[in-house]
Chains A and B, each alone.
Chain A
């Protein structure tokens, strides 16, 4: 009916049909498209058969064919479109539609065959300027809807594919088809729904829109190689799975594709680069020219390039050194259509190289430093060696000194481990230093006392030094200690043990000892001598004393007065001798340090009274007066009563002896601070000033008294001084010749320290 349009559509349709089958890539897709085109041609142009005259049969047959094609057409297009767009899911869903469609077609035929649907009533043919037209029936509406739905579905699928595709060519192709398909879609909507609403019958529009569609497709085939460059078969994932920055260029060096590795490397996405010249991604123009003239031309000459180095430019302008692999890209017909370049970032590699260079320079510098340090250290070492030598020399000197000392030296550390034992010690102990050094002193050295008792560790001077930091000297230990040698023999030793402290820290102790065997022997001899002497001297003196006594007592007859006097003289002289011997013996004992001091609570007043009582005869004989004055309440103090008694005795005897008849002697006792002071004064001869310094000397008797009083040993004051000083007191005097003398002595109220000696003085 719409003859012109139909012819137009027919021609364009045939043209596209032929084009597709010549140029298209043979596949299922192409077949469906061909089917679609055939259906389309049928729908649009079957009416032309009616040109051969109105014939009911032809009309009916053409109608049947037309409607059948009308049903099939959208289906075929959809199949094609889904395949083309790679819309697998859509395709699968669509397959369900096919049986439904088949049923529908069967139904239509059945209905038609039974004349239920009136397809076309010939009487309803209307003549329009552009041709004749039949009124559209209800069936046509259904078909219209059916077509529209499918085309809509196709459009959706195609638009979806378009959005998903990254391939610009593919995109262009899809765009074409979408637009192309949109035309008949909208047209059919318009023809079947919109225009009739407004009362317009525009049937011919269908053919026109179809024709446009065919032409568009044809153009797409030519221009965009529709079906030819089937990039839809190359999936996105494959692209992106290539490990390397992938660039696909065409023969004009225009970028066709890049993958996401490339994007990672340079920052450019495929979309940005498609259609751009390859130069865009090169760092500079010269690099590109160089690459093009050498590498690219080689690749295009079918040489595969491996490892060419050049520099790309990132989107931010950074230099990216790359290594390129390139080869030619062919289509399925082996026509070269482009070049594939795969680029690898060698920036890190370059960095590593630079890094290594820097490192090696660093190492070199370090080596120089080391050399310098080494030299410095050698210098230090030399200095140290020198110092060490000096110290060693000193040490040798010290050791030589120590070894040459006649006394034994043993030093220990703070734990009592022996660290030094000198030669003298070795000899005295009859041991070897190397056997003793390193051992604890108490384990290798035994100390015994005079009675043979082994000194327990806590009493040993070394222990006292190390634990209590106490010094021991022979003053305390005297002849007490002996070392017991390994062979059992004894070494009497005068031992001095001192702790060594530095900065309040105990470092160890030093023991110095001396062989005192001789001294002890001498001491023993002295003791024996003293004993012997005292006995040998005294025995005859006792005899003299007793015989004189018996004679005077008349035990062997009466004596005349003169005889009596003579015997008395013997007695007096004897007493003098006895006193002298006693004094001498006492002094010897004092000097050998063996006086026992036996402090007891002593009442000094009592002592004084006792002494005065003893001397009563003498001072009464001389008609001297004794005056005792006790100041304060004198407490009893801890003193050795025997010794202090001797003191009073000596001082009082002196006072009496060196004072004339009828002289006055005063005794007084007072407390002065922490001492008790005793004072004995007389108004006698006094001591001449020139002699006052010698008064306490042994055997000293002042000039002025020797002439007058021949009796006197000169030992009295010496003894007194020794006793007072051993008691912790002081003795002093003042005197004026012919006026008198006053002797003072103090005794501490705290008393005397007990001193272990061996002898007391004799009374």
Chain B
């Protein structure tokens, strides 16, 4: 079973992720901020990471930067999930090493699952 690590500070969205992804057959681990993500990464290596951008303590971009700086995590597919959508943010995310960028309010969960499946292929 593929493991997905999700970083998301909103509890409702996190629950939604967990339910849907579990239903899709993924093992889901979660973190609520950037620091926790790093901590968890030290404990296990997921097959894919979903990173929220706006998070307390350490936001998604900083976490992304840190993750990508560790060689063993360099190639893990990372999706930046945001509600921003400004081109600068998209570019920033991609330049920092994100594999993809989604806009949470524009993308349905179904499409998200599809995207994940594509990335894990």
Partner of B13, one of A531, A546, A556, A581: A546
Q: Is the Cβ of A581 less than 8 Å from the Cβ of B23? A: no
Within 8 A of B (CB), among A573-608: 578, 581-582, 585, 596
Q: Quick check: A543 and B87 within 8 Å, CB to CB?
A: no
Known: A541-B105, A758-B88. A546 touches B83 (CB 8 A): no
Residues of B within 8 A of A531 (CB): 84, 86
B16 adjacent to A550 (CB under 8 Å): yes
Cβ of B44 under 8 Å from chain A: no
- Chain A, residue nearest B104 (CB): A542
Interface residues of B in 60-115 (CB under 8 A from A): 82-88, 103-106, 108-110
CB-defined A-B contacts under 8 Å, sample of 5: A540-B12, A542-B83, A543-B10, A549-B109, A760-B86
Complex Cα–Cα for A578 and B103 (A): 11
Q: When the two chains form the complex, which single residue of A549, A555, A578, A596 contacts B105, counting CB atoms closer than 8 Å?
A: A578
B12 touches A543 (CB 8 A): yes
Q: A535-B54, A546-B16 are in contact. Are A759 and B109 (CB under 8 A)?
A: no
Within 8 A of A (CB), among B23-48: 23
- Shortest beta-carbon contacts, A-B, top 3: A538-B83, A542-B104, A543-B12
Known interface pairs A531-B86, A538-B104, A543-B13; 4 further A-B residue pairs with C-beta atoms within 8 A, sorted by A's residue number: A539-B83, A545-B108, A553-B109, A758-B87
Residues of chain A within 8 A of B86, CB atoms compared: 531, 758-760, 762
| Interface set, chain A 528-554, CB cutoff 8 A to B | 531, 534-535, 538-543, 545-547, 549-550, 553
Once A762-B85, A762-B103 are accepted as A-B contacts, the answer to whether A546 and B109 lie under 8 Å apart by CB is yes
| A571: nearest chain-B partner, CB-CB | B108
Asked if A535 and B83 make an inter-chain contact with CB atoms under 8 angstroms apart, the answer reads yes
Do B12 and A547 touch (CB < 8 A)?
A: yes
Report B-chain residues with C-beta under 8 Å of the C-beta of A534.
83-85
Q: Is there an interface contact between B104 and A763, defined as CB atoms closer than 8 Å?
A: no
Within residues 712 to 763 of chain A, which ones have a CB less than 8 A from any CB in chain B? Answer: 758-760, 762-763
Could you say which residues of chain A place their CB within 8 Å of the CB of B105? 538, 541-542, 545, 578, 581-582
Contacts of A759 in B (CB 8 A): 86-88
When the two chains form their complex, are residues B19 and A556 in contact, meaning their CB atoms are under 8 A apart? Answer: yes
Q: How far is the CB of A292 from chain B (nearest CB, A)?
A: 131
Report Cα–Cα, A541/B85, bound state, in Å. 15
CA distance A607 to B82 in the complex (A): 26
A556 to B19, CA, bound (A): 9
Q: Which residues of A contact B10 (CB under 8 A)?
A: 539, 543
State the majority secondary structure of interface residues on B. mixed
B20 within 8 Å of A (CB atoms): yes
Instruction: Name the CB-closest residue of B to A574.
Output: B105
CB atoms of B19 and A555 under 8 A apart: yes
Contact of B104 among A539, A553, A555, A585 (CB under 8 A): A539
- Closest approach, in angstroms, between the C-beta of A574 and any C-beta of chain B? 9
With both chains docked as a complex, state the minimum distance between the C-beta of A600 and any C-beta of chain B, in angstroms: 14
The residue from A539, A555, A582, A596 contacting B20, defined by CB atoms under 8 A apart: A555
Quick one: which of B16, B20, B86 has the most chain A CB within 10 A?
B86
Given that A543-B13, A763-B106 are known contacts, is A555 also in contact with B23, CB under 8 Å in the complex?
A: yes
User: What residues of chain B lie closer than 8 Å to A542, measured between beta carbons?
Assistant: 13, 83, 104-105
Q: How far is B88's CA from A760's CA once the two chains are assembled, in angstroms?
A: 9
Q: Residue-by-residue, is B1-13 near A (CB-CB < 8 Å gives 1, otherwise 0)? A: 0000000001011
A550 touches B87 (CB 8 A): no
A487–B109 Cα distance when bound, in Å, is 54
Chain A neighbourhood of B12, CB < 8 A? 540, 543, 547
- Residues on the A chain within 8 Å of B85, using CB: 534, 585, 762
B40 to chain A, nearest CB (A): 22
Contacts of B104 in A (CB 8 A): 538-539, 542
Chain A residue nearest to B14 (CB atoms) is A543
Closest residue of chain B to A543 (Cβ to Cβ) is: B12
B89: shortest Cβ distance to chain A, in Å? Answer: 8
**How far apart sit A491 and B13, CA to CA, in the bound complex (Å)?**
43
Tell me the residues in window 40-93 of chain A with beta carbons closer than 8 Å to chain B beta carbons: none
**A479-496 with Cβ < 8 A to chain B:** none
CA distance A581 to B88 in the complex (A): 19
Whether the pair A546, B20 counts as a contact (CB closer than 8 A) is: yes
Residues of B contacting A760 in the complex (Cβ-Cβ under 8 angstroms): 86-87
B109 pairs with A550, CB closer than 8 A:
yes
**Cβ–Cβ < 8 Å partners of A541 in chain B:** 105
Given A535-B54, A578-B106, A759-B88: A550 and B20 interface contact (C-beta under 8 Å): yes
The smallest C-beta distance from A676 to any residue of chain B, in angstroms, reads 26
Cβ-closest chain B residue relative to A595? B87
Question: What is the minimal beta-carbon distance from A170 to any residue of chain B, in angstroms?
Answer: 135
Q: Which B residue's beta carbon lies closest to that of A577?
A: B105
What is the distance, in angstroms, from B55's C-beta to the closest C-beta of chain A?
11
> B residues within 8 A CB of A758?
86-88
- State how many angstroms separate the Cβ of B24 from the closest Cβ of chain A: 10
- The interface residues of chain A lying within 8 Å CB-to-CB of B54 are 535
- Report how far A641 CA is from B82 CA in the complex, Å: 23
Q: Tell me, in angstroms, the Cα distance from A534 to B20 when the chains sit together.
A: 24
CB proximity to B under 8 Å, residues A551-567: 553, 555-556
Contact A539 B13 (CB under 8 A): yes
| Contact B110–A553 (Cβ < 8 Å) | yes
Name the distance in Å between A492's Cβ and chain B's nearest Cβ: 20
* B110 in contact with A549 (CB, 8 Å): yes
Chain A residue numbers with a CB within 8 Å of B13 are: 539, 542-543, 546
Q: How far is A758 from B91 in the complex, measured between Cα atoms in Å? A: 11
A758 to B87, CA, bound (A): 7
Give B14 Cβ to nearest chain A Cβ, in Å: 10
- Alpha-carbon gap, A578 to B85, bound state (A): 13
A541–B16 CA distance with the chains assembled, in angstroms: 13
Q: Are B87 and A596 in contact (CB under 8 A)?
A: yes
> Which chain B positions have C-beta within 8 A of A550?
16, 19-20, 109
Rounded to whole Å, the gap between the CB of B110 and the closest CB of chain A is 7
- A547 x B88 contact (CB < 8 A): no
Q: How far is it, in angstroms, between the C-alpha of A763 and the C-alpha of B106 when the chains are bound?
A: 8
How far, in angstroms, from A543 to B104 measured CA to CA in the complex? 9
Give CA–CA (A581, B106) in the complex, Å: 11
Q: How far is the CB of A578 from chain B (nearest CB, A)?
A: 5
Q: Which residues of B contact A540 (CB under 8 A)?
A: 12
Give Cα distance in the complex from A555 to B22, angstroms. Answer: 10
Distance from A755 Cβ to chain B, minimum over Cβ atoms (Å): 13
Least distance between B99 CB and chain A CB atoms (Å):
20
Q: CB-CB < 8 A to A582: which residues of B? A: 105-106
